[in-house]
Structure 1
Amino acid sequence: MRAGPAQERSWLPLREELHGIEPYGAPQLDVPVQLNVNENPYGPSPEAAADIAASVGRAATTLNRYPDREFTELREALAAYLNTSGGHGITAEQVWAANGSNEVMLQLLQAFGGPGRTALSFAPTYSMYPEYARDTVTEWVAGRREEDFSLDLGAARALIEERRPSVVLLPSPNNPTGTALPPEAVSMLCEAAAGDGRNGLVVVDEAYGEFRRAGVPSALELLDTHRNLVVTRTMSKAFALAGARVGYLAAAPEICDAIRVVRLPYHLSAVTQATALAALRHAPELLGRVDELRVERDATVDWLRGRGLAVADSDANFALFGTFEDRHAVWQALVERGVLIRETGPAGWLRVSIGTAAEMDAFKQSLIQVMEDHR
């Protein structure tokens, strides 16, 4: 169903700040090559799909009953997985899950944001963050990243000390740039957010954490050091489970317990829990494609730079490249050739998700033609 234009909602008693706002969402166009929303191009294997189907079938026989409200088995399985993916000693009490990491973030701001409180990040950053703040009536503050999309740690500390945010949101790898935060940056920001009685949380959003390059650590390693640190992950990307909507976090047990106050009753369905548990049983197999995507990403970055384009260093499954005087014209010309990428990030930049080798070849050939036409 198509959402009506903003003017058609003018008669509603809508909150004032929501007037004229259109719903969030990347373009969904029926083109042969879709490289715009950072999906994993490789679906679950037949074995994983069969296990998921069987698990959902078993769950279907119990759908007259509410699911496990605390999703204990899933939390235990997620903790076990995180302890193989950068973490150590993480327990089920330190894990929380919801319908995508989007809902996890919203729940964090429902619990720790609100009127009179501030959420802070550093632009360019994930475009949904200010919407989480808006939806929870939390003030939104955005500092700036450096020209290479890194953080000036001195300036970041000063902004946190000045604005005293209750929540700092930091994607690492960053979306849309792909830039990862070094551990010393995470530690400094945790100390700044908690210093002088501020007690702010630092949320490191590792939606693309499994795609980080060799030697780039996860913020999970710092959980024991900083009690105000929250690390979020998703099963949408590396696990090829975008359609299932499963996101989760690791944090101090007190943080997880506080989120239980704002969660909706039985928010994770029995079908969702069964799907996620089956996928985790096949983690090595599902994650096996991650190495291929890393190789394809690095090759794409090198190729783009070889064409004379600027490309941000990426630890994610996408590459941000530019710059173009009229990026929309380039984006549109690619669409006309059957290739959909994302028009996002700073002015002049575009973002391409990493697809299969065939999809990336189609992207490259189309981009060559478009650049020749737009000289």
Structure 2
Amino acid sequence: MTDFNQIPLRPDLKGQVPYGAPQINVPVALNVNENTFGIPEVVALEIIQRLAAEVIGLNRYPDREFMQLRGKLADYLGFGLAPEQLWAANGSNEILLQAFQAFGGPSSSAISFGPTYSMYPNIARISLTPYEEFEREADFELSADYVAEKIRDSNPGIVLLCSPNNPTGTPISLAVIEAAYQAFDGILIVDEAYAEFSAEESALSLLSGRPRLMISRTMSKAFAFAGARVGYVAADATAIDALRIVRLPYHLSSLTQAAALAALSFSELLLENVAQIKGQRDRIIQQVTKMGLRAFRSDSNFVLVEGFQDSNEVFEKLLERGVLIRNVGIPNTLRFTAGTESETTKLLAELAIMLD
């Protein structure tokens, strides 16, 4: 078998490994912030019917501009958005990659505030965009003055703000987003993958009159649609047109479009589980605090917990008991996705036994 030294791999990719969390078959998987409630049967049947209708025409390319889907996404988000202000792709990661292809590159630069979503530096690397990550303030929070200062000092082409932040769960206020936008002349991307779980007002309320602001969303989390790979972004129509320049032809398949349209037609039903997930999130926070651990403020569907002497040991012991969680590499911490009531009970019971 050959290795990377025997093929002309890009020099900056040598020594790199593919991104990915462990995919292990366990009874309770709470490691990648999926919505473990799943798809209701009535929604599943609607998806199947729409997919079946599309299969007959799979010899033809999909609708390249998918205006029907963009219209449904605009209706779902509200705020008076027009279909031309929406764009979709195969997960929000592809949305971010397209944004970096359009606005980044070797002559630009990007910054964020870490710890944050680990795909940001990967997307920057893939797009040959210089990337820097500034440390967050105490308890992983961000203030308007701090963010604006770092942006002015670095003068990047792209700023990424994740709200609520992954992996810490920390929300970002509109005041911070406004200060960030005013601090430079580049593209500000607010990653709202977990927005449906947050009590903070969405950055969508700031879009009007801000042509350099882009709000990225996903159907993976609140919609329980991770396997369908549907991400989308709201922005000024001109910024959306920039993404259309770099997109691959027919990048969103007919089947993906059909499945997304079916899910959006049942958005209220699919989002009914959000309240239950938030309840289990708060339950985790309360119970781990009673165990003598520290849970950081979370506005997402997961909780970052601190206080483990050996995070790897706790991770392995939970895995042995059929519970898969995530070690995100922050010392003495582990991240727990809020699952169903029974999944959360299993997690908390096993954790309590280990810490007793």
Question: What TM-score does the superposition give when structure 2 sets the normalisation length?
Answer: 0.98
Distance 1:292 1:179 in 2: 19
Aligned to 2:7: 12
Moved more, 13-22 or 244-253: 13-22
Counterparts of residues 128-207 of structure 1 (less than 5 Å): 128-193=119-184, 199-207=185-193
- Pairwise mapping of residues 190-339 of structure 1 onto structure 2 (< 5 A)? 190-193=181-184, 199-213=185-199, 216-339=200-323
Secondary structure of 2:300's counterpart equals coil
Q: Please say if residues 177 and 320 of structure 1, whose CA atoms lie closer than 8 Å, have aligned partners that are also in contact.
A: yes
The alignment partner of 1:255 has SS state of helix
SS of 2:6's partner is coil
Q: Answer yes or no: is 1:99 the counterpart of 2:90.
A: yes
SS in 1 for 2:327: coil
Q: Distance in 2 between matches of 1:89 and 1:39?
A: 29
1:343 to 316, 324, 327: 327
Identical aligned pairs, as a percentage? Answer: 47
In structure 2, the residue matched to 1:126 is 117
Kindly indicate whether residue 107 of structure 2 is the aligned counterpart of residue 112 of structure 1: no
Q: Which amino acid aligns with 2:191?
A: D
Name the counterpart of 1:89: 80
TM-score, structure 1 normalization: 0.93
1:63 deviation in Å?
0.6
Structure 1 Cα separation of the partners of residues 10 and 151 of structure 2: 29
Equivalent-residue separation in structure 1 for 2:259 and 2:314 (angstroms):
39
In the alignment, what sits opposite 1:78? 73
The DSSP-based 3-state class of the residue aligned with 1:66 is coil
| Match runs of 1:49-68 below 5 Å | 49-68=44-63
Q: What is the distance in 1 between the residues matched to 2:280 and 2:27?
A: 19
Which consecutive residues of structure 2, in runs of 5 or more, have no partner in the other structure?
none
Determine helix, strand or coil for the equivalent of 2:139.
coil
User: Which amino acid letter does the alignment assign opposite residue 236 of structure 1?
Assistant: S
- In the alignment, structure 1 segments of 5+ residues that lack a partner are 194-198
Report if the CA contact (8 A) 1:176-1:320 is conserved.
Answer: yes
Q: Secondary structure at the match of 2:348?
A: helix
Q: How far apart in 1 are the matches of 2:321 and 2:354?
A: 9
Q: Which residue does 2:37 correspond to in 1?
A: 42
Deviations for 1:197-223, whole angstroms, at most 9, x for unmatched residues? Answer: xx211111000000113xx21111111
- Match of 1:10, SS state, is helix
**Aligned-partner Cα distance in 2 for 1:329–1:309:** 16
Please tell me whether residue 363 in structure 1 is matched to residue 354 in structure 2: no
TM-superposed CA distance for 1:152, in Å, is 3.7
Between stretches 261-270 and 318-327, larger displacement belongs to: 318-327
Paired residue type of 1:221: S
**Deviation of residue 65 (structure 1)?**
0.7
1:301/1:311 contact within 8 Å kept: yes
CA-CA distance at 1:29 after TM superposition: 1.1
Q: Deviations over 1:77-109 (max 9, x none)?
A: 0000001xxxx1111010010000010000000
What is the Cα deviation at residue 110 of structure 1?
A: 0.5
C-alpha displacement of 1:153: 2.9
Determine if contact 1:124/1:345 at 8 Å carries over to the other structure. Answer: no
Larger deviation, residues 155-164 vs 123-132? 155-164
Matched, 1:27 2:22: yes
SS at match of 2:250: coil
Please tell me whether the aligned partners of residues 98 and 268 of structure 1 are also in contact (alpha carbons under 8 angstroms): yes
Q: Please state whether the residue corresponding to 1:346 is helix, strand or coil.
A: coil
Cα distance, 1:310 vs structure 2:
1.0
Aligned equivalents of 1:76, 1:238: Cα separation in 2:
20
8 Å contact from structure 1 (residues 36, 352) kept in 2? yes
* Bigger Cα displacement from structure 2, 246-255 vs 158-167: 158-167
Query: How many Å apart are 1:345 and its aligned residue?
Result: 4.8
> Aligned-pair distance for 1:60?
0.6
Conserved? CA contact 1:145–1:152, under 8 Å: no
Counterpart amino acid of residue 18 in structure 1: L
Q: How many residues align?
A: 356
